[in-house]
A and B are shown apart, each in its own frame.
Chain A
Amino acid sequence: MTKPWIWGVNLSILMVLLLALGTIYSLTRGAETTLLNCSSELYEPDDDGKARQYLLVDLVTKGKKAQIHYRYFNLDGSLAGSISMEGELTASPGSGNRYRIAIHNKEEKGGKNSAPRPMHMNYISYVSGLNLSSTGLHQLELEILELDKTRDYAIVLFQPSNTVCGCRLIH
Chain B
Amino acid sequence: MQLGECWFDDARGELVNRASGDVWHLPRAELQVLRLLCAAAGKVVSKAELRQGDDEHQPLSDSSVARAVFMLRSFIGPGSELLIETVKGQGYMLRLSPQERRSNLHGPRRFGQRVSLVPVWLLSFAMLLAIAGGVYYAWRVAELAPSAPYRVDTLTQADGQMVRLVLYAHSRSNNTLLVEKAAMIGSVLAECRSSRWRDVYLSLSHDSRVLNLTLRGEYLGQAVVRNLKLSDGREPRDFISAEGLREVDICD
- Chain A residues packing against B (C-beta within 8 Å): 3-4, 7, 11, 38-45, 47-51, 55, 94-98, 118-120, 123, 127, 143, 145-146, 148, 151, 153, 155, 157, 160-168
Please state if A96 and B229 are interface contacts (CB–CB under 8 Å).
Answer: no
Which of B169, B223, B230 sits near A43, CB closer than 8 Å? B230
- Cβ contacts under 8 Å, B223 to chain A: 148, 151, 153
- 19 residue pairs of the A-B complex, CB under 8 angstroms, read A40-B227, A42-B231, A43-B229, A43-B230, A43-B240, A123-B205, A123-B210, A123-B231, A146-B216, A151-B223, A155-B214, A155-B216, A162-B203, A162-B205, A162-B206, A163-B210, A163-B212, A164-B168, A166-B226
A127 vs chain B, min Cβ distance (A)? 8
Interface residues of B in 225-244 (CB under 8 A from A): 225-234, 238-240, 243-244
- Cβ contacts under 8 Å, A43 to chain B: 228-231, 239-240, 244, 248
Please state if A145 and B216 are interface contacts (CB–CB under 8 Å).
Answer: no
Please state if A42 and B114 are interface contacts (CB–CB under 8 Å).
Answer: no
B83 within 8 A of A: no
Which of A98, A120, A146, A151 sits near B210, CB closer than 8 Å? A120
Interface size on B, residues (CB 8 A): 52
Please state if B209 and A123 are interface contacts (CB–CB under 8 Å).
Answer: yes
Please state if B247 and A48 are interface contacts (CB–CB under 8 Å).
Answer: yes
Tell me whether A41 and B210 are in contact in the complex, defined as CB-CB below 8 angstroms, given that A49-B246, A49-B248 are known contacts.
Answer: no
Please state if B222 and A151 are interface contacts (CB–CB under 8 Å).
Answer: yes
Please state if B206 and A96 are interface contacts (CB–CB under 8 Å).
Answer: no
Please state if B168 and A157 are interface contacts (CB–CB under 8 Å).
Answer: yes
B202 within 8 A of A: yes
* Apart from A49-B247, A161-B206, 9 more pairs, CB < 8 Å: A41-B226, A44-B231, A96-B145, A96-B146, A123-B207, A143-B146, A153-B225, A160-B170, A166-B214
- Cβ contacts under 8 Å, A120 to chain B: 210, 229, 231
Which of B125, B222, B233, B245 sits near A119, CB closer than 8 Å? B233
Question: What residue in chain B is nearest A45 (Cβ atoms)?
Answer: B232
How far, in angstroms, from A129 to B228 measured CA to CA in the complex?
24
Select the residue from A49, A96, A157 with max chain B CB neighbours within 10 A: A49
How far, in angstroms, from A19 to B205 measured CA to CA in the complex?
42
- Cβ contacts under 8 Å, B117 to chain A: 3-4
Question: What residue in chain B is nearest A156 (Cβ atoms)?
Answer: B214
How far, in angstroms, from A145 to B168 measured CA to CA in the complex?
11
B118 within 8 A of A: yes
How far, in angstroms, from A166 to B166 measured CA to CA in the complex?
13
How far, in angstroms, from A100 to B114 measured CA to CA in the complex?
51
How far, in angstroms, from A130 to B93 measured CA to CA in the complex?
80
Tell me whether A45 and B238 are in contact in the complex, defined as CB-CB below 8 angstroms, given that A3-B118, A155-B214, A157-B168 are known contacts.
Answer: yes
How far, in angstroms, from A155 to B238 measured CA to CA in the complex?
25
Question: What residue in chain A is nearest B246 (Cβ atoms)?
Answer: A49
Return the CB mask of B130-152 against A: 1 if under 8 Å, else 0. Answer: 00000000001001111100000
Please state if A97 and B146 are interface contacts (CB–CB under 8 Å).
Answer: yes
Return the CB mask of B150-182 against A: 1 if under 8 Å, else 0. Answer: 000000000000000010111000000000000
A101 vs chain B, min Cβ distance (A)? 16
Question: What residue in chain B is nearest A121 (Cβ atoms)?
Answer: B231
B7 within 8 A of A: no
Please state if A40 and B229 are interface contacts (CB–CB under 8 Å).
Answer: yes
